[in-house]
Amino acid sequence: MKAKNVNIILTVVILGGIATAIYLVTKNKNKPEDKKEPKKNEDNKKVSSILFVGDSNTFANFSYADQLKKLYPNLKIKKIAMNGANSDWARTQLERELQNNKYDIISILIGSNDIYGGKSIASTKGNLDAMYNLAHNKGSKVLAITPPSKDFYLERTNAKQNMLSDLINWMKSNKNIDDFINFKAMTPSITFFSSGDEYLHPQAQAHKLLAGRVQQDLQIA
């Protein structure tokens, strides 16, 4: 009788220990700090309009802007982009657009043509900062996207690569940016590029990933 009671007690203790362990593992797994929280949009305001400003990376008909427009036909989306555009052009276009229009989000992807067109990195930073400030003054949040990787571009040089790294590091620490996406880090493989343009522009699959990241960060429903 006593042995039987001892076995019952041991069984209860073991089962209780297992239950406690499962509870602790589940609790730790679901701790808020372990969850990937959205980077921005803490006020949970629904995004209803986005302006995309950029160069050929945004101008392409398979760009992340176009992919988001197909996914969300009811979302007000406008794209201002041009092949070969640099930050001077982008700044001027943004100033004109915001004279009479407002957007919840302004997404800016510019810089490749500044670097490969001979513009000083200081000038590029100045233009970008002016664009970020202008967007905020008009009540918009800034989504800043870095130029894509140039690691596979046949015309790349060490000096140009260093300029790109400098620009990306500056963007990372810029307090005028509400949300930052490192497109260079998202395009680490030559498979995202095409030999047709010497591996300069990321193709549709890369933009699909970028669109998904924007969708996640902005919490677009």
pLDDT of 5: 47
Hey, what are 164's tokens?
A: 């790109």
Task: Reduce the DSSP state of residue 187 to 3 states and report it.
Answer: coil
pLDDT of 43: 57
pLDDT of 56: 98
Q: How many CB atoms lie within 10 A of CB 204?
A: 15
- Helical H segments across 30-79, by residue range: 56-59, 64-71
pLDDT of 45: 78
Determine the distance from the C-alpha atom of residue 146 to the mean position of all C-alpha atoms in its chain, rounded to a whole number: 8
Task: List per-residue pLDDT tens for the chain, 221 residues long.
Answer: 444 444 444 444 344 444 444 333 343 333 333 333 444 445 567 999 999 999 999 999 999 999 999 999 999 999 999 999 999 999 999 999 999 999 999 999 999 999 999 999 999 999 999 999 999 999 999 999 999 999 999 999 999 999 999 999 999 999 999 999 999 999 999 999 999 999 999 999 999 999 999 999 999 97
pLDDT of 4: 46
pLDDT of 51: 98
pLDDT of 44: 62
For 24-42, the three-class secondary structure string (H helix, E strand, C coil) is: HHHHHHCCHHHCCCCCCCC
